[in-house]
Amino acid sequence: MAFDVQTATAWITASEAVVKANEARLTGLDAAIGDGDHGANMARGLAAALANIAEKEPATPGDVLVAAGRGIVAKTGGASGPLYGTAFRRAGKALGDATEATAEQVGDALEAALTAIKELGGAAEGDKTMVDGLAPAVAAFRQAVADGGDLASASVAAADAAEAGLAATVPLQARKGRASYLGARSVGHEDPGAASLALILRALAEVTA
């Protein structure tokens, strides 16, 4: 299958649903080391993403992701707003005018999202952030495509890698955001941003299956 308007819209729809279903868990993770608003913020941002997609009626999958990003930036309210919002917008722009993006193009879009998040937030791998989920996920997605995998199998590889990356944030000490003020006390918890990222990439695997 190709990544078209329907698939892109289904991805954002599924992301909103899974984040809403996990809102309490994300907020609980964030309450442990952050400011305890990640679940509510992400739910609000993704709901705004869906509303903006419905309003803009985008004609390409790239425009779907750009519309989602704009909604997220406008309404999320926390640091995850500009980070996820810019990530979706850059991913959408990377898809260009394609009406049916290939797995390779989706890999390029995910790479553009990773680059955007690193530039905006200044985080590197190992800082206990969403980058610890997204960086291995992008690498796994591209490797799967290079090995001849399709969009569905590459998306599963990315989701698996994001979940492994999330688990690997537990022993890390945070070097970005509110959690970084906690120093060693940030060790022993999953990073909330890596947790929401894993949910969103699992949603991609589900809608492309």
Partner 1 sequence: MTVGIVLVSHSPAVAGSVADLAAELAGPSVAIRAAGGTDDGRFGTSIELISAAVRSADSGDGVCVIMDMGSSVLTSKTLVEDLEDEADAPVVRLADAPFAEGAVAAAVLASTGQDLDAVVASAEHAWSMRKL
Residues that bind partner 1 (CB under 8 A): 37, 41, 73-75, 77-83, 85-86, 120-121, 177-178
Smallest gap from Cβ 44 to partner 1, in A, equals: 9
Closest CA to 169 of 124, 140, 129: 129
72/56 Cα distance (integer angstroms): 14
Give the pair of three-digit tokens for residue 78: 């926390």
- Specify whether the CB–CB gap between 129 and 191 falls below 8 A: yes
Residue 138's alpha-carbon distances to 44, 54, 132, 141, 182, in angstroms, are: 26, 28, 11, 5, 29
Smallest gap from Cβ 201 to partner 1, in A, equals: 21
Question: Strand pairing partners for 52?
Answer: none
Nearer to partner 1, 62 or 78 (CB): 78
Nearer to partner 1, 79 or 198 (CB): 79
Smallest gap from Cβ 35 to partner 1, in A, equals: 8
107/101 Cα distance (integer angstroms): 10
Cα of 106 vs its chain's centroid, Å: 13
Residue 123, classed as helix, strand or coil, is coil
Nearer to partner 1, 87 or 158 (CB): 87
Nearer to partner 1, 53 or 79 (CB): 79
Other C-beta atoms lying within 10 Å of the C-beta of residue 207:
21
- Specify whether the CB–CB gap between 145 and 104 falls below 8 A: yes
163/186 Cα distance (integer angstroms): 19
Nearer to partner 1, 28 or 82 (CB): 82
Nearer to partner 1, 38 or 202 (CB): 38
